[in-house]
Chain A
Amino acid sequence: MNVRFCKATLAVSLLSLSVGCAAPARYDYTAYRANRPASIVVLPPLNKSMEVAASYGVLSRATAPLAEAGYYVLPVALVDETLKQNGLAMPDDMHNAPPTKLREVFGADAALYMEVTKYGATYAILASDVTVTANAKMIDLRSGDVLWAGSASASTAEQQSQSGGGLVGLLIVAVINQIINTVADDRSTQMAAITNQRLLGAGQLNGPLYGPRSPKYQSD
């Protein structure tokens, strides 16, 4: 009885250990390496969050990580304007535009289709966090291949240290945070910047590869 119990426990703990240690699956970069885009047009993200500002909050922070990764990123405000002038009023319409048409107008090698699922503050009694969650898919506009896809998230909750103060301290922090979070949308754009860095920055597990303008091009 005892021995059997021990065996069972051991088996379970070994199993959980192996699950815990299993490395996350590596993204398959075959198509990415075969196509190697140099320029990327980022379409205004679809907004699946409750916040109206989400799409453009994330879009305005998408250029830096991709450009620092070594890509030419087409100017996002001009691209948005051009799409609107061509009768595509909403991100949903823009995402449905034929890739060949995008290639024709923007001359970009690849397009990035993003979706924001969480954006902005969530209110609770003890904590009020600002979270931004997004995913992205990179499509080659020359071949139509899916080059890469990923998702990432960032939250102010990561930064708030729970150091002392007890319940009263926590309540004060929560109230202050709620004030800050309502007054400024700065925190949302800050979180959007971190989310985009985690999502679109090169040199990290399952992230985009380095582009031609990076000294690390083809090193990954």
Chain B
Amino acid sequence: MTISIKTALRAVAAPGILLLATACVQQPRPLYYWGGYQEQVYDYFKNAGGGFEKQIIALEADTEKARATGAQLPPGFHAHLGLLYAQVGKENQVIQQLETEKTLYPESAKYMDFLIARYSGSGEKK
């Protein structure tokens, strides 16, 4: 009698645990490696006109981390890094980042072309 209860309990418990385990596994995997991207965007708005070097260092570090893990950087990341390069006068790197954004995300093509024309034009910084 006691044995049959134990067996019954086990039969109930096993799928229960399995369900629990799958519930944990099914936590959706993020599509992108976010790193500190959103914090840096907030910093950009908060310190309008300053702190660009620090933000560049943070995003470059995220680029390395994403590369090391093979993860994809989120929409806007490369373009934003390009904006930061523009603020410190690194024109070549601006275009490179905008082109990368366009390659990774063809949806951005129209706006990236607009920005590329703007930033490559006369070498102006803003």
B115 CB within 8 Å of chain A: yes
B110 CB-CB contact with A under 8 Å: yes
A63, B76: Cβ atoms closer than 8 Å: yes
**Cross-chain contact of A73 among B39, B45, B75, B114 (Cβ < 8 A):** B75
Tell me the count of chain A residues lying within 8 A, CB to CB, of chain B.
Answer: 33
Residue of B nearest to A72 (CB): B107
Q: Which of B32, B37, B75 has the most CB of A within 10 A?
A: B75
Q: Does A67 contact B (CB under 8 A)?
A: yes
Q: Does B31 belong to the interface (CB within 8 Å)?
A: yes
Contact partners of A208 in chain B: CB under 8 A: none
**Contact present for A77 and B41 (CB under 8 Å):** yes
Segment among A13-21, A51-59, A127-135, A156-164 that sits at the interface with chain B:
A51-59
Per-position 1/0 for B91-125, Cβ under 8 A of A: 00000000001000101111100110000000000
Q: Is A25 an interface residue (CB 8 A)?
A: no
Binary CB contact string for chain A from 29 to 68 against chain B (1 if under 8 A, 0 otherwise): 0000000001100000000000001001101110110011
* B38 at the binding interface (Cβ < 8 Å): yes
B111 neighbours in A (Cβ, 8 Å): 74, 78, 105-108
CB <8 Å contact, B38 and A63: yes
Q: A74-B108, A76-B41 are in contact. Are A68 and B79 (CB under 8 A)?
A: no
Q: Answer yes or no: A194 CB below 8 A from chain B CBs.
A: no
Which residues of B, 47-91, contact A by the 8 Å Cβ criterion? 74-77, 79-80, 83
Interface majority SS (helix, strand, loop, mixed), chain B: helix
B45 interface neighbour in A59, A70, A72, Cβ under 8 Å: A59
Q: What CA separation (Å) do A38 and B106 show in the bound complex?
A: 11
Contact residue among A63, A70, A106, A214 (Cβ-Cβ distance under 8 Å from B41):
A63
**A137 located at the interface, meaning its Cβ lies under 8 Å from any Cβ of chain B in the complex:** no
| Residue A193, interface by CB 8 Å | yes
Tell me, in angstroms, the Cα distance from A26 to B113 when the chains sit together.
40
Complex alpha-carbon distance, A39 and B80, angstroms: 17
Q: Does A81 contact B (CB under 8 A)?
A: yes
Most chain A beta-carbon neighbours within 10 Å: one of B32, B42, B80, B105: B42
> CA A203 – CA B26 in complex, angstroms?
13
Taking a contact as CB atoms closer than 8 A, the residue among B41, B76, B110 that contacts A107 in the complex is B110
Enumerate 20 A-B pairs (CB-CB under 8 Å) in ascending A order: A39-B108, A56-B45, A61-B38, A61-B42, A63-B38, A68-B31, A72-B105, A74-B76, A75-B75, A75-B77, A75-B83, A76-B41, A77-B80, A78-B80, A78-B83, A106-B111, A107-B108, A107-B109, A108-B107, A203-B28
